[in-house]
Structure 1
Amino acid sequence: MEFPFDINQLFPERISILDQTLAVSRKSSARPDLQENIATVLDELGRASAKAQQLTAPITSASKLQSQKHQLYLMKDGAANGGRGAVVGFLKVGYKKLFLLDRQRAHIEAEPLCILDFYIADNRQRHGYGLQLFDHMLQDKNVQPALMAYDRPSPKLLSFLAKHYNLTQSIPQVNNFVVFEGFFFDKSGSRCPPLTDQGMYGYL
């Protein structure tokens, strides 16, 4: 996805992490023009993601990121667009307090790291960028895919999770979130007590 301004000036790293400040560097936080361009990128990405998922409205925008404690991983291709760079896609995550049902239909309160929005530009799909971006987030958060929750995952995301992380057995929930087999088990294979230990979800 190309823009009429220099993407490399906004996002110095191949994968940049944005939060409520919309700043990836001191330079961008100090210059209103760069902040405005970052907001434009996020708004355009949110609209493109909503269109791809056939949503009625975007769930990602600059204003939404500023008002919520979420993080957005943005990937660029620095050599594209005549060296000005282009955006490949993004992945938005955040912790959510959820009431979930395990296999025995017992109610469990948890606050896992959740996948909230995930989009790779149409002309960049099927080149491995989505996997690179997802793996970068997993390493940064030190979390396993099975220990995450997924907010209204699209069929394409479910296929992606099955192909790359062998997540195929979901546990039905009464909300919009999807969790998979292994979510309610600790590393030893024992069933977890009610999930109050936030460390297992990437806090540690």
Structure 2
Amino acid sequence: MLKIGITGGIGVGKTVVARMFKLLGIPVYDSDSRAKWVMHHDDSLKADLIAAYGSQAFNEQGELDRAYIASIVFNNPEKLQRHNSLVHPHVRNDFEKWVKQHTGKPYVIKEAALMYESEAWKQIDKMIAVYAPMDVRIKRLLLRDKHRTEADIRTIISKQLSEEEKMARADYIVTNDDQRMIIPQVLSLHKQFLELASAN
């Protein structure tokens, strides 16, 4: 089965693009929400997280304390890398299982912000990068994430792979700059992916 990746930095509109593919009947794997699910339901990963962060990693209801973990890893590159090395392999395995549940579809989509950093790109046949200019991204994020300042947003962006590298490594680029319509771009890609899938 053809596996298509969607990536891009915070605020570019990856989820909007992924949602359009979903409306076309294409299954979409949301890596962020699946990572949360895996951290709650994979017993071996839960044990690893407790070993790494102590019993405080999960609250009394058995839910992951994301704020506590974020406070430890966010400003510590070594601890963040360690955290990702615990979680990402489990998410990759989860994706492989998920793909097997959708074998009747011509192709599937995997949406991930950290597609290259997590090496999830190795599971993908073709990659879409979603692009938006920096000023547009910041304006969107200030509207969406009321708890963040522009400085916070720029810090997050600075920790992600550069847009230039994402664009250079992509097979396709969707421009989401509030000027170009996204729907025609997605419909064109959908047509190409159906042709690719039928040729395989």
Q: What range is the shorter-chain TM-score in?
A: under 0.3
Tell me the TM-score normalized by structure 2. Answer: 0.27
Kindly indicate which of the two structures has a greater share of residues assigned to strand. Answer: 1
